[in-house]
Amino acid sequence: MNAKLEIVAMVLGFLGLFGVVTSTAVPMWRVSAFIGSNLIVMEELWEGLWMNCFRQYQIRMQCKVYDSMLSLPPEMQAARGLMCVSIILVLVSLLVTGCGIRNSICCVDDMRSKNNTLVAGAALFLLSCLTTLVPVAWVTHTVIHKFYNPTVVDSEKRELGAALFVGWAAAGLLLVTGVILLVTYSSRKSKEEDPYGDTYIMAARSAPGESVDLTRRSSGTHKEHAYV
């Protein structure tokens, strides 16, 4: 059962890595909102961590990389750095976890070291979840706050882009991966502390259900007075 959970955790970890990379790369963190006086639906603006894209009706999309990082708002600057850190952390987490799973060739004779490697991978997955969740939540909060702020003009208001939803999903996958690895580690740790538990259980099951009959019986069919 633990081996299957480890495989599931690795699959979820790879999906989380794909989600983090996708969320970081696509320029859809903030998109133009069509509200109030800003009702020109033939024009659409996408803003990402690395570039912004502008599309008009029946005209192909045009994207431009930001000239300076300082031109971005603080939450977008922080998101760029933290998402890059998240990608590195997930990669390291997958490598460490791959060395700690039961079927790996690393530390074959040292189960204690393999368990410690597994829990280190789980901790890195949880840390990568945090570094993904913080920028996504920060940008989401900023977009929603400005959207409902009456002092912000309609043309400057933005809506949540698809990259934010992908980031939320990736953070959830990384969290589930870390929890699964911690559960697996707990199960393997208990077996490590009680290595003879299975032997005792098998011995108890193999013991006879009935006690041995130690009653003394006579060696013959004759009664005792027949020998006198």
The ranges assigned to domains in the chain are: 2-26+72-192
pLDDT at residue 116, rounded to an integer? 85
DSSP of 11-60: HHHHHHHHHHHHHHHSS-SEEE---TT---TTEEEEE-SSEEEEEETTS-
Measuring CA to CA, which residue among 128, 127, 129, 104 is closest to residue 115? 104
What is the per-residue pLDDT for 84? 95
pLDDT attached to residue 37: 55
Query: Backbone phi, then psi, for 146, in 5-degree steps?
Result: -70, -30
What's the pTM value of the predicted model, to 2 decimals? 0.77
Segment 151-162, tens digit of pLDDT: 887 777 888 999
Fold of 2-26+72-192: Butyryl-CoA Dehydrogenase, subunit A; domain 3 (1.20.140)
pLDDT of residue 55: 78
- Residues contacting residue 138 through CB under 8 Å, at least 6 positions apart: 75, 78, 79
pLDDT value of position 58: 66
Orientation of helix 74-100 relative to helix 2-25, angle to 10°: 150
| Residue ranges in the chain modelled with pLDDT below 50 | 195-212, 214, 221-222, 224, 226-228
> Looking at residue 107, what is its pLDDT?
62
